Each structure stands twice: as structure tokens, then as C-alpha cells.
Amino acid sequence: MTHVGNLLIAPPTIKDSFWHKTVIIVTEHHHHGSIGLVLNKRSHYTIAEFGQQLNIPLNIPGYVYMGGPVNPQSLSLLHSAEWCCSNTMQLNQQFSVSSAEDVLPKLSGGDRPMYWRLFLGMCGWGPGQLVNEIKGVAPYKHQNSWCTASADHDVVFENDSKDQWCKALDRSGSEFSQNILL
């Protein structure tokens, strides 16, 4: 499985940390390391409140999400692949990520993707770290290894919080059992 555009799901053994019941979509994975966005951790900002702070009228329902603990001031828009702006990177046929100055004005003006979610911050892994975490290679423990699953618009955009974690974990288990039977 290629990691870009797919999900990392915190296993049930992860408790009492930022990563508890976390679902991440991987946006980059290469020899320099990996980057992802936490899908199910809302910030305390609504999109409208965030726009007010920046003097951009974003009268759009929803929340800004905490993409992760790395670079918490960085702004990313994860979205369906039919839309783009001046700095859009396509992850696969379903998803793209954009991080450009024109993202918020486009959203404000009604130029929006079909599916999207706005993030501050991101997750980051050094070279080889993500693969080692998934495989449970020392110093990482196998019982804390990330579960993996494919992503689609329903799992990524139609859920959040613990519901998203449960749905992603169910998908991971289903895909795992299908691979065992092959």
C-alpha cells in the first residue's frame, strides 16, 4: 500500500496522549520523511471565527481542525481533487492539499471544492520513521503500531471525532481480513 492519500489510525492501545483515537491522512511520504494531517481533532475555532481573526469573511459552517503538533501556524486545505488553487498538490485521484495565500479568499468568494477541511499544523516523521512506526520496529512497539486503511470522501469528510476513528478502524480491520483471505 502506498501511504500517500491513505489513513493512519491510532490503535486502541494508545491512551492519554494527543494521539488517542487519532485518524491521519498521509499527504507526503518520501526518502526525506512523511507528512500528514490529523482529520478528527477540531480546534476551538469555527471557520467564521478564524476568518474574523484574519479579516476575511468566512461565513461558512464548520470548524478549523488541528492538523498536528508540527508548525501549528501553517494553514492547509485538504480537499477533493476536482478543485485547485495556485499551490495545490494532488495526492491521488480523490484528494489534493492546498496551502496558498489565495485559499481563504477563494473560500470566502464561494469558490470551494465539493469536499474540504481546513487545518492548522501538521504531523511529521523523519526519514524511515513512519514505516518503522507502522511495522513496530524498535524503538517503536508493535502494540502501538499505526493501523492503516484506504481513504475515501465518506471516511475523510463526512465524520469527525471518535466516529471517524471508529469508522476508520473498522475499515482497517476489514481490509486486513480481506488481505489475509487472498
Query: Residue 129 corresponds to which amino acid?
Result: Q
- The candidate with the shortest Cα–Cα distance to 146, out of 163, 162, 131, is 131
Q: Give per-residue pLDDT as tens, 39-51.
A: 999 999 999 999 9
Contact status, residue 116 vs residue 61, Cβ threshold 8 Å: no
Q: Angle CA(74)–CA(75)–CA(77) in degrees, nearest 5?
A: 145
pLDDT of residue 83: 97
pLDDT of residue 167: 95
**Which CATH architecture fits 7-181?**
3-Layer(aba) Sandwich (3.40)
pLDDT of residue 181: 59
Which residue intervals of 20-108 are DSSP H helices? 47-53, 103-108
pLDDT of residue 1: 55
Type and span of the H or E element at 161: helix 161-181
- Give Cα separations from 79 to 52, 54, 90 (angstroms): 22, 21, 9
Calculate what percentage of the chain has a pLDDT beyond 70: 98
C-alpha 80/C-alpha 96 separation (Å) is 6
Measured torsion, CA atoms of residues 118, 78, 40, 44, in degrees rounded to the nearest 10 = -10
Domains of the chain: which residue ranges? 7-181
pLDDT of residue 155: 95
pLDDT of residue 160: 83
Measured torsion, CA atoms of residues 59, 96, 86, 118, in degrees rounded to the nearest 10 = 30
Please give the chain's pLDDT, 182 residues, in tens: 579 999 999 999 998 889 999 999 999 999 999 999 999 999 999 999 999 999 999 999 999 999 999 999 999 999 999 999 999 999 999 999 999 888 999 999 999 999 999 999 999 999 999 999 999 988 888 888 999 999 999 999 998 888 999 999 999 988 877 776 55
pLDDT of residue 142: 86
Query: Residue 174 corresponds to which amino acid?
Result: S
Residues near 163 by beta carbon (within 8 Å), at least 6 away in sequence: none
Residues near 179 by beta carbon (within 8 Å), at least 6 away in sequence: none
